[in-house]
Amino acid sequence: MRQAFSIDLPASDAGDAEHRAYSIMGSRHKANRRSIDIASVEEIDPRISTDPRITDHFREEIAAAGGPISPPQEEE
């Protein structure tokens, strides 16, 4: 089954980001690297991410820039 996905990861460069994506998708879904097609790797502003890994890794940068851009989502 093919399914499009997007994942935010802290990485030092595009190669590191691809490696981490392969690793995460393989461990969570038992998918091998040949079955995963990465269409693009882009750098994002950490303030727009809601992923806990990103907010934790870039905590000081986000605070220095004035906080997150995206409004916090309320839990239901």
Instruction: Assess whether pLDDT exceeds 90 at residue 2.
Output: no
Q: Is residue 72 part of a domain?
A: no
What is the extent of the structural domain holding 25?
Answer: 14-64
Q: Is residue 76 part of a domain?
A: no
Closest listed residue to residue 37, CA positions, set 5, 64, 10:
5
Q: Is residue 8 part of a domain?
A: no
Q: Is residue 18 part of a domain?
A: yes
Q: Is residue 27 part of a domain?
A: yes
Instruction: Assess whether pLDDT exceeds 70 at residue 7.
Output: yes
Tell me the pLDDT band of 19, cut-offs 50, 70 and 90. Answer: very high
Tell me the pLDDT band of 76, cut-offs 50, 70 and 90. Answer: low
Model pLDDT, residue 20: 95
Q: Is residue 19 part of a domain?
A: yes
Place of tokens 């499009």: 4
Mean pLDDT in residue range 16-35: 93
CA 44 to chain centre: 9
CA–CA separation, 28 and 11 (whole Å): 19
Q: Is residue 39 part of a domain?
A: yes
| Each residue's pLDDT tens digit, 33-58 | 999 999 999 999 999 988 999 999 99
Q: Is residue 29 part of a domain?
A: yes
- Is the Cβ–Cβ distance between 23 and 38 less than 8 Å? no
CA distances from 15 to 1, 22, 35, 55, 70 (A): 25, 11, 18, 21, 27
Provide the domain count of the chain: 1
pTM of the model: 0.76
